[in-house]
């Protein structure tokens, strides 16, 4: 949701070798995130040279933030989302929570990887000067931005649907059972994908049109300029709506959980440990994953949302002066914070979800010759039968112990039953 400026225009201007806006337009949106950049707002090179309060050297160095941080986030995203996908796809019973998490994992994976072409373009001067790379980048740039922003909308609204589903499960668990149906969840996400693609269609139309005509946004037809301006404001408003929904829904979730917790304090003894504990753990894991994901989303998205609101207030309404040098200085920090929300979800799942940790442990156990102990609610792993933890073959002692415990339990049950029968038959 944060604007970026073409590094060719920026760096060339700073070094006194300015390139024309029209010739560099094909990459003018190369660093845009959640909306395509309006190139008419690309700062005047003459103004950049004398930009205040930041010096030219500071603005050049600030580009290294993106160059250094993005590969780190991409690594976390790739490894984490692949592991998350493997863990989720191995789950036998795929409920609505599993489907929502899988959808977010896939979307987050593509969000980071679809940023790779513009990152390479802006980070490598040799690639920018390579005619074949520039032609290829120009062809794919429109679809690349469109797909990236489609996945962003898909991931964000999936989190909102997940929040609504958890709220319904807490407040009215029997009335809203249909909302947790796996088939309904899949169909809802398919519809959401279509709506996300339509909502972000301006990106592929605008960038492809400008590249085909070899013109800048300042020479674009009026219909395209107006559409792009409306699209920019609509996406900022959409982000505000998403943040408002997430805050409102999850505050309601917390209130409902607190009330439910208070009501269940005196009822814990009535629940059988064999069923109640397992169901309660699954229930809590879904809530922890949701609340953790929402908290991380709100924290990482806040800088981008604030910067874009300030841009609209300064550019469209003239409410105050927002210097271009300040925008350029803030952009790398806000954008990398924005990407963090989509790259470290695996670490979040491991931190807040006991069930996810157990499933991850089972997956590692299969890889290293271990298997999870099904009788252990923590999902810990233990050696396969016939092998001890030290890797040595076991004797029959473990099986003998288990058989002794089983026989002892059966004898206790028979003894209790006999005592009950004697008490019933004895005269009062």
pLDDT 10s digits, 346-356: 888 888 878 78
pLDDT above 90 (res 196): yes
Give me 412's structure tokens: 């206790």
| Main-chain dihedrals φ then ψ at residue 383, nearest 5 degrees | -65, 150
Kind plus residue range of the DSSP H or E element containing 370: strand 370-372
Q: How far is CA 385 from CA 10, 119, 320, 381, in A?
A: 65, 51, 71, 12
Q: Which DSSP string corresponds to 54-109?
A: S-HHHHHHHHHHHHHHHHHHHHHHHHHHHHHHHHHHH-SS--HHHHHHHHHHHHHH
Q: Please tell me the predicted confidence (pLDDT) of residue 145.
A: 93
Distance of alpha carbon 97 from alpha carbon 247, whole angstroms? 19
Structure tokens at 101: 């998490």
The alpha carbons of the chain give a radius of gyration, in whole angstroms, of 28
Residue 387, SS3 per DSSP: strand
Q: Taking residues 8-14, what's their average pLDDT?
A: 47
Closest-CA residue to 336 (of 4, 65, 27, 28): 65
CB-based contacts of 253: which residues, under 8 Å, 6+ apart? 163, 166, 167, 170, 287, 290, 291
Q: Is 375 helix (H, G, I), strand (E, B) or coil?
A: coil
Could you tell me how many helices (H) and strands (E) the chain has, helices first?
Answer: 15, 2
pLDDT value for 70: 95
Q: What percent of the chain has pLDDT over 70?
A: 68
The arithmetic mean of pLDDT across residues 296-322, rounded, is: 86
Choose the most confident range, by mean pLDDT, from 103-112, 174-183, 340-349, 380-389.
103-112
What pLDDT sits at residue 406?
A: 55
User: Which of 130, 115, 165, 144 is closest to 342 using CA atoms?
Assistant: 115
Task: Give 289 or 43, the one with higher predicted confidence.
Answer: 289
CB-based contacts of 326, cutoff 8 Å, min separation 6: 53, 54
Distance from C-alpha of 289 to C-alpha of 284, rounded to nearest angstrom: 9
Mean pLDDT computed over 161-171: 89
Is it the case that residue 19 has pLDDT exceeding 70?
no
- The residue that leads in pLDDT, 230 or 54, is 230
Contact 382, 393 (CB under 8 A): no
Q: Do 2 and 332 form a contact (C-beta atoms < 8 A)? A: no
Which pLDDT score is estimated for 409?
53
The phi and psi torsions of 382 (rounded to 5 degrees) equal -140, 165
Q: Which stretch, 4-13, 22-31, 142-151, 413-422, has highest mean pLDDT?
A: 142-151
State pLDDT tens for residues 34-82. 333 333 344 444 444 344 677 778 878 888 888 999 999 999 999 999 9
Interhelix angle 201-213/182-199, nearest 10 degrees: 30
Enter the tokens of residue 128: 């920018």
26: pLDDT strictly greater than 80? no
d(CA 179, CA 338): 30
Mean pLDDT of 195-212: 92
| Mean pLDDT on 379-406 | 47
Q: State phi, psi for 17 to the nearest 5 degrees.
A: -125, 70
pLDDT at 368: 63
Q: Which residue has the higher pLDDT, 190 or 425?
A: 190
More confident residue, 402 or 196: 196
Which of 153-167, 280-294, 381-395 tops mean pLDDT?
153-167
- Inform me whether the pLDDT recorded for 90 exceeds 60: yes
The residues pairing with 382 across neighbouring beta strands, listed in sequence order, are 371
Separation CA 108–CA 347 (nearest Å):
14
As a whole number, the mean pLDDT across the chain is 75
Report yes or no on whether pTM surpasses 0.85.
Answer: no
| Spatial separation of the C-alpha atoms in residues 284 and 114, rounded to whole Å | 34
Cα 21 to Cα 44: distance, rounded to the nearest angstrom: 10
């Amino acid at each position: 949701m944060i604007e970026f400026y073409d590094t060719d225009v920026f760096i060339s201007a700073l070094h006194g070798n300015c390139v024309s806006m029209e010739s560099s337009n094909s990459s003018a949106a190369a660093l845009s995130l959640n909306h395509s950049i309006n190139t008419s707002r690309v700062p005047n090179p003459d103004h950049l040279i004398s930009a205040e309060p930041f010096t030219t050297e500071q603005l050049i160095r600030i580009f290294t933030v993106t160059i250094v941080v993005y590969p780190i986030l991409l690594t976390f995203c790739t490894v984490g989302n692949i592991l998350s996908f493997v863990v989720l796809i191995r789950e036998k019973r795929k409920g609505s929570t599993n489907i929502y998490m899988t959808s977010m994992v896939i979307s987050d994976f593509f969000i980071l990887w679809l940023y790779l072409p513009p990152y390479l373009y802006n980070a490598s001067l040799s690639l920018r000067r390579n005619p074949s790379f520039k032609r290829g980048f120009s062809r794919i740039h429109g679809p690349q931005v469109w797909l990236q922003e489609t996945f962003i909308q898909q991931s964000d609204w999936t989190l909102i649907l997940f929040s609504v589903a958890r709220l319904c499960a807490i407040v009215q668990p029997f009335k809203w059972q249909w909302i947790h149906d796996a088939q309904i969840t899949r169909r809802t996400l398919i519809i959401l994908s279509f709506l996300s693609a339509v909502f972000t269609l301006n990106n592929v139309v605008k960038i492809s049109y400008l590249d085909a005509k070899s013109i800048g946004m300042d020479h674009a037809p009026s219909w395209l300029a107006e559409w792009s301006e409306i699209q920019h404001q609509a996406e900022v408003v959409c982000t505000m709506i998403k943040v408002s929904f997430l805050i409102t829904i999850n505050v309601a979730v917390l209130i409902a959980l607190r009330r439910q917790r208070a009501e269940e304090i005196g009822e814990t003894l009535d629940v059988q440990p064999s069923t109640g504990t397992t169901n309660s753990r699954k229930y809590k894991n879904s809530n922890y994953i949701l609340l953790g994901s929402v908290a991380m989303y709100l924290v990482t998205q806040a800088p981008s949302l604030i910067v874009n609101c300030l841009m609209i207030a300064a550019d469209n309404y003239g409410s105050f002066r927002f210097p271009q040098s300040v925008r350029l200085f803030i952009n790398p920090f806000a954008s990398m914070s924005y990407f963090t929300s989509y790259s470290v979800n695996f670490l979040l799942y491991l931190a807040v979800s006991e069930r996810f940790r157990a499933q991850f442990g089972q997956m590692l156990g299969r890889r290293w010759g271990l298997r999870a102990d099904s009788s252990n609610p923590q999902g810990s792993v233990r050696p396969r039968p016939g092998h001890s933890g030290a890797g040595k073959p076991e004797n029959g002692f473990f099986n003998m112990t288990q058989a002794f415990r089983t026989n002892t339990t059966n004898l206790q049950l028979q003894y209790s039953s006999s005592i009950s029968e004697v008490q019933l038959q004895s005269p009062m």
